[in-house]
Structure 1
């Protein structure tokens, strides 16, 4: 199975270059030099949750692209692309973070509606292919920036992450103001135009990519278990271009790493690869999909995500490779930057790198363990890893390395999954949407939300 993170790993190859673009826009400089040593101390658990969420949200608010409003791919300039690159999936996560900020009063509701309206108006005119967006766009022009040598067209997984956020926004912004009306209307019209069934090529499986220049040559079928459950749910939900249940049954639920059933470190894992894989599998689709009581013929998804998290945590505590720093208060392996480039960290790819998003975004599944890690990251390691946009993307005490970067797809789940634990906000919004209701029913799911 070729994972999203493996695709992201192609950033390290010379083939992942940017096509000719306008002059690169410089990144906005912080108003003043950030000093992590000045962060507030002696916080209660609730104060610490507020502090981490609010600071991490600034990645999408203060660092959002000035023209498009979308989320920048990363905070550092690397891999031969610059600050003009915005990410569709990361923007979906960022939209959800903006909703959290409005609900918690960090920004006003009109400010949030205006920013998301700006994003929606930009997407309305941006490049799309059979209704689906590319992985990357130029935040100034709306034109595609290729992600890999042949990845220069539609990416339906990134598109599904984007709509996970957009559909939450449509459910949240229900007032009759011009901004809220516009974003509701345009989200609906764009959503209804995504040709999900086009991406089956007439077969009972979804294909990840299509390119106007390279057609289906990437030939990447989407099989489970990984981060792409939301893609199949939304594909089934489409009122005009929906897939049938057999596409889910014969495409998604038949991958070589789908059914597991083995026991690792005392925990039985229903689905997924050996030892569970990177933790983002239990985050990306479940920022909108509430796993509580979510079941189908294959799994109970609350049990699945708890088991995955427990194995990842217990592996770090057992620490079979004797990595420096690992323990009950310092755990969490998932895809992030590392001391040797981008990597899909997991118990089977353990490079000694802890990615803060892993434990923090696992708060719904392992609250005590996540809080222990959060407090350690903030209080004990904060001088090195705390920043104006929350925690850095990764660090390794084993290799005396700290990332200088933040990634949208890592910062977003921190804000959203922490909020889902605290209030269930995004879960309630997404699961109440007609799209979630239709898609889950069509695929044979049970959920307390289904009417």
Structure 2
């Protein structure tokens, strides 16, 4: 199944009325993030537990990481990308030894490099240097009929490139990591994935060809173009960035200090920022808007908080310190009575504020939605994290930190939820951790604390090259 296919076909947008309530608290456009409020003492425990999801659930014989746990799962190639970055965080925080992280990283890169590639519908991990969205945990072969994914491959490549830059010592194993990282990234044929279009396709199926939908802004696809434009061998055409930004006029929402490029699920405002420091650098669109993409994500976080504070659906729990809608697990597909109305609930799905035909708000919140915004708006994220821990900790906080999601309004026991459990007073809580939701919690905390991931990635030539090709200027790109 294509996770992206579960997302709404159109951007879910927030109206300017909901945004107006937070206009006075937003930072000035383009200004480097100031030192923010201190994280609570328990947050270090959350970070270590989240790290251990990747460290303990990885298949150590090949480096493949499950999509989720404890449910039995295939490997998510995006989870590998988050894991390859998480290992270095573990080294720096003292949760694992550098030699251990080095050896696990090398095992992973060797497997990715040697995994079979080809056009056949089965028996391969990928094609043209890209990888299938999901692969089996042992052999690394395509799982069922999933697509060759441009965005999930990008997340994988981000982790690969990070590892190649981080492991910089004069050591045979670290040198091999660097060689493999360069080779894995250089092998990807981005021009092929463009398929003669201006924009890049979301995916490809053997026998079925390219998916009709392209990556066009604004959503999580931004870093696909940065890596594609920066590729050393088969780059995207320079005009592809214009194709990415062409829809921007249709997705601006808000006025003044609330104006931002809208995409309702918050993961779309987070993923590119996990690895790329967008503070103070601007392309043509952001120059015209007189802000940067970091500020755009900050405004998106405030927009979600404003929506949950207004709470037009009257869901239980929503407030200024309990917010965060994104793609996540849910209690299941059912239509049930709630406060005198029939309400539809969903299983795994993208979620975002009301305001467009494809709106989806069923009362389900995900910790990663708010916590992944930590560098953008710590002053509103930390209170949300505190409330999640305080009010739901015994249900939601476990072996690897926060479980994926909760729904305070879902207190139904019939029909039985497809997964998770129902507390009669506090509602439904998931029973899985999901790799692509764990990653932003850990890595954005590392960026908030010390710019750690950003500092490493600013040194990667492909990142600088891709940004420059896209027309970004200013900030650290000028140094």
CA contact (8 A) 2:368 2:438 kept: yes
Q: Distance in 1 between matches of 2:7 and 2:285?
A: 30
Q: Does 1:334 align with 2:334?
A: no
Q: Distance in 1 between matches of 2:259 and 2:106?
A: 41
> Structure 2: which 5+ runs fail to align?
9-37, 116-124, 287-291, 333-346, 355-359, 411-426
* Residue of 209, 212, 215 corresponding to 2:206: 212
State the match for 1:41 in structure 2. none
State the match for 1:39 in structure 2. none
State the match for 2:414 in structure 1. none
CA contact (8 A) 1:393 1:406 kept: yes
CA deviations on 1:205-261 (whole Å, 9 max, x unpaired) are: 111212333222x32211111001000000000111111221110x21123x66433
For 1:53-202, list aligned pairs within 5 A.
Answer: 53-77=47-71, 82-83=72-73, 85-126=74-115, 127-146=125-144, 148=146, 151=147, 154-202=148-196
State the match for 2:251 in structure 1. 260
TM-score after normalising by structure 2: 0.80
Q: Residue 450 of structure 1 aligns to a residue in which SS?
A: helix
CA contact (8 A) 2:253 2:261 kept: no
Q: Distance in 2 between matches of 1:172 and 1:318?
A: 44
CA contact (8 A) 1:336 1:394 kept: yes
Q: Distance in 2 between matches of 1:105 and 1:221?
A: 42
CA contact (8 A) 1:292 1:302 kept: yes
State the match for 1:412 in structure 2. 439
* Residue of 242, 255, 275 corresponding to 1:288: 275
1:101 deviates by 0.9
* Residue of 225, 237, 240 corresponding to 1:232: 225
CA contact (8 A) 2:63 2:105 kept: yes
State the match for 1:398 in structure 2. 409
Q: Distance in 2 between matches of 1:71 and 1:312?
A: 31
1:183 deviates by 1.2
CA contact (8 A) 1:291 1:301 kept: yes
Q: Residue 335 of structure 1 aligns to a residue in which SS?
A: coil
1:449 deviates by 2.0
List structure 1 segments (4+ residues) > 4 angstroms apart after TM superposition: none
State the match for 1:354 in structure 2. 365
Q: Distance in 2 between matches of 1:8 and 1:115?
A: 32
Q: Distance in 2 between matches of 1:295 and 1:448?
A: 9
Q: Does 1:424 align with 2:451?
A: yes
State the match for 1:24 in structure 2. none
1:447 deviates by 4.0
1:353 deviates by 0.9
Q: Residue 75 of structure 2 aligns to a residue in which SS?
A: strand
Q: Distance in 1 between matches of 2:180 and 2:228?
A: 19
1:179 deviates by 2.4
Q: Distance in 2 between matches of 1:381 and 1:318?
A: 22
For 1:289-304, list aligned pairs within 5 A.
Answer: 289-299=276-286, 300-304=292-296
TM-score after normalising by structure 1: 0.85
1:446 deviates by 1.8
1:8 deviates by 4.4
State the match for 1:27 in structure 2. none
For 1:15-34, list aligned pairs within 5 A.
Answer: none
State the match for 1:25 in structure 2. none
CA contact (8 A) 2:60 2:104 kept: no
Q: Residue 210 of structure 1 aligns to a residue in which SS?
A: strand
Q: Distance in 1 between matches of 2:306 and 2:428?
A: 23
Q: Distance in 2 between matches of 1:188 and 1:393?
A: 33
Q: 1:395 to 1:243 in 2, by over 3 A?
A: same
Q: Distance in 2 between matches of 1:6 and 1:442?
A: 27
